[in-house]
Amino acid sequence: TVGDQTYPLPEPFFVLATQNPIEQEGTYPLPEAQLDRFMFNIVVDYPSRDEEARIIRQVTSLQEPPLETCLDAAQVLALQQAIRRVPVADHVIAFANDLARATRPKAEGAPDFVREMVAWGAGPRAGIYLITAAKARAVLQGRYHATTADVAQVALPVLRHRVLTTFNAEAAGVTSDHIVKQLLEKMRPAEEIRL
């Protein structure tokens, strides 16, 4: 939507964006509302020595890597629908909801460290994305139901860009990753019986 004009986009529609953690010159930070629309924030470290050598070889040669279609748009949409059909128990939804809500410094029951170190916590999209990602992880692991362990495994990439730390937290070297990890330690889900 631009102004009051809505434009239909082709499906599936997704955006990949990169962020250089070192250089900010010439870039513009996204507002929190726009950051919240990204499902994940994945940290990509330096490549291994062998990976970097392959990158150098490929980029500096005339060799074009072969590109093959592995999924077409209809298959991606079918997979998205399959993920939506994965069942989730109420206690798993409660865990995802409680985890997202615990990042909010003004929320009832927010831990003291969140009240002190977090300026702004995750909104309602966080719980939606925690469950969606947990379902996808379950399927990739060969299971037909999502667990609290799946939610915990996807929590960092889903929450890290939705938790904004205070100036005092930044000065102390406390990052959103630290906050999410501390919440996961504090809110450890009970062991689940494997179905």
Q: What is the CATH number of the domain that holds 183?
A: 1.10.8.80
Cα–Cα distance for residue pair 40/37, rounded to 1 Å: 9
66 vs 185, residue with greater confidence: 185
Cα–Cα distance for residue pair 188/195, rounded to 1 Å: 20
Average pLDDT on 47-74 reads 92
Count of domains for the chain: 1
Helix (H) or strand (E) holding 164, with range, is strand 164-165
Instruction: Give residue 192's pLDDT band: very low, low, confident or very high (50, 70, 90).
Output: low
Please classify residue 128 by burial: count the beta carbons closer than 10 Å to its beta carbon, then call 0-12 exposed, 13-18 middle and 19+ buried: middle
Looking at residue 26, its pLDDT comes to: 63
Average pLDDT on 15-24 reads 76
Instruction: Give residue 16's pLDDT band: very low, low, confident or very high (50, 70, 90).
Output: confident
Task: Flag whether pLDDT at 27 surpasses 50.
Answer: yes
Of 22-31, 65-74, 145-154, 182-191, which gets the smallest average pLDDT?
Answer: 22-31
What range does the domain containing 100 cover?
Answer: 1-194
Residue with tokens 């930044």: 170
Cα–Cα distance for residue pair 132/150, rounded to 1 Å: 10
Per the DSSP assignment, residues forming a β-bridge with 120 are 164
Looking at residue 33, its pLDDT comes to: 84
- pLDDT digits over 62-109, tens only? 988 888 999 999 999 999 999 999 999 999 999 999 999 999 999 998
- pLDDT digits over 130-179, tens only? 999 999 999 999 999 999 999 999 999 999 999 999 999 999 999 999 99
Looking at residue 100, its pLDDT comes to: 97
12 preceded by a cis bond (ω within 30 of 0): yes
